[in-house]
Structure 1
Amino acid sequence: MIIDLRSDTVTKPSQAMLNAMLTTEVGDDVFREDTTVNRLEAKVSKLFGKQQALFFPSGTMANQTALKLHTNPGDQVICDKYAHIFNYESGGASFNSGVSCNLIDGNRGMFTAKQVKQAINPNAYYYSKTSLVEVENTTNKGGGACWDFNEILKIKSICDKNNLGFHLDGARLWNALIAKNETTKQYGDVFDTISVCFSKGLGCPVGSVLVGNNAIMEEAIRVRKIFGGNMRQAGYLAAAALFALENNLERLAEDHKKAKAIGNVLSSVSVVKTVAPIETNIVIFELHNSDDEVKFVQKLKEKNILIISMGGGKLRMVTHLDYTNTMHEKLLSVLSNKNFANN
């Protein structure tokens, strides 16, 4: 039995999801004739109260398209120093859109409206034009932290006053909604564009969706084509997303519960220095001695438990759909064994 906690992207479709995929009706989506893709886009746009939605093969492409829609070359995007669009999208913001990022030194990937206001460049021709504020919820590098929605509303007010776009990287927004008892409509009312992912907590093999109103989304399908993201019989993938929305949302609470249980046990392991606050399904912890990082990962690997190293003595575990109760009990047992940490 392999216990893979490197990411919530390692899940594989359940048999029920595969059945939904195999029996769905498909068409050529480039001609906009794939009925299952059309159903998914209509469902997600309705969930967020937006006029349009577009299916993408990846969250990175959805985010990169949003940046392109909101900006012109030479513009600047305000985001956190931990932002996925800056750290984990291969420099796509500069390569694809010709924009720079003004990085805010936030708290666990989250910043304040006051910080946004301070980060807006003066309106002079020799400054890069600030045109977009980007938020990530939950924060990946911030340990699955959830934003305070009241702070998001304050940032929205700053955006409105300064004619700035507002984009949400909602790769794990589903986790935040469950953890905070919030709604898709709340977020749809605030953000101009939102990307949501289905291949993380919801257990799909592939797929993200970008939503927004007609004015901002008018060129989205053209940008997707430029990025090479137009697909043909994509309904097989969209069927998985539809199944996930209907069956896998509420169960995210189980992942959060298990993550917190892991954090509690880690707090008592002698080599563990700190465990970051756990709100959703991501557990980030730091060792007393960063030299032990490789050793710690290897010792778990020898017991068929896979986790990920973040460098600097920090390690990460992510709970997910395929992390069973049996796996959970084994992990807690291994971590609780005093001989494990001391050998």
Structure 2
Amino acid sequence: MPITRLEPYDDFLRIHFASGESPHHADFHWFWLRHNSELDRHPLTHERIVDSSELPLDLQPRHVRISESADALDIDWGDRSDGQASRYTAAWLLHHAYATDRAPWPAPPSDTASVTVDFANLEEPLGPKALRTLARTGILVVRGFGLDTEALIDTLSRQGLSVIETHFGRIEDLRTDNTTNQNTDQLGYTDSAIQLHTDQPFLDRPPRYQLLHCQRPADTGGGNAVVDALAAAHYLADLDRPAFELLRSVPVTFHRQQKSFERVLVSPILDFDAPGGFRIRYSYFTLAPHRRPFAEMEAWYRAYNRFARLVRDERHQYRFLLQAGDFLIYDNWRMLHARTQFTGARWVRGVYFDTPAPAPAPL
């Protein structure tokens, strides 16, 4: 039963078998393969001499190849002084396969070009077509609109979006020398890097959309990253269902405390039952200390950290740099956003929007 192709992933290896065979492919975790290596058995009794607890969970092989006869898999784990590789015959792999013909959930998208448009080339400037793209992807990057934020607000208002004033004011001037906004004692008004987060997770209903309109780019740095957290949640569920279930069921506390503002809200990070659809609340800098039963705390941190590593992986991010006149608008209920550290007088204007409330059901 020949092996025809290998697809290595971070956590597992997909092995394809010859056409016509059943199954067509099977997935094996790297750790499972390492734990079941014949190199870790006694040469006379063939009993295991290594327990799984002695092996690191984040194993990555040095080299993987199909044997010359195509009936076996060879893996060099890079941890043996004798340089020997583990061999797994195709027949053995199929006999012990535990994930056959699995259809994995796709990783979060990262093709920034697919969500970027040039304002000069739009058939209908920020009309229904552009907003349909925003609804479908959760993000829209527009190049070359110009610097008039009020004109941009008017354009979006004509499409049914309403400005939401927050404790920062109507428009946030995100710049290190800000003297006009309220409650500027937070990271957005510094030149520090800000990792992935959602805005206003401590509000019962966070604003649905955020607009970031670049007035002046930084001298260096200040790049943006956006992640589709809905896609990331489904991807996590496909890789690690217990972690996903913890993130959607464990309540955590978000606490924003500033000189003139304080709010506290308790909610799971992933909320598939929120009014209006999926909602993620994710903000490491407004998380209060976790309170879990002692026997559950480590499992909670493992789940949270697994998700954090997934979304912080640059392969799962839209990454771009806004220039003067460009803007980004994204769905704050679905997407995470971040920026890199910067130098210079970077100036970005932030505005929150919401959609009209649904009409009440008839009595």
Per the TM superposition, whether the score is higher than 0.5 is no
- Please, what TM-score do these two structures have when normalized by structure 1? 0.24
- Please, what TM-score do these two structures have when normalized by structure 2? 0.23
Structure with greater strand percent = 2
Structure with greater helix percent = 1
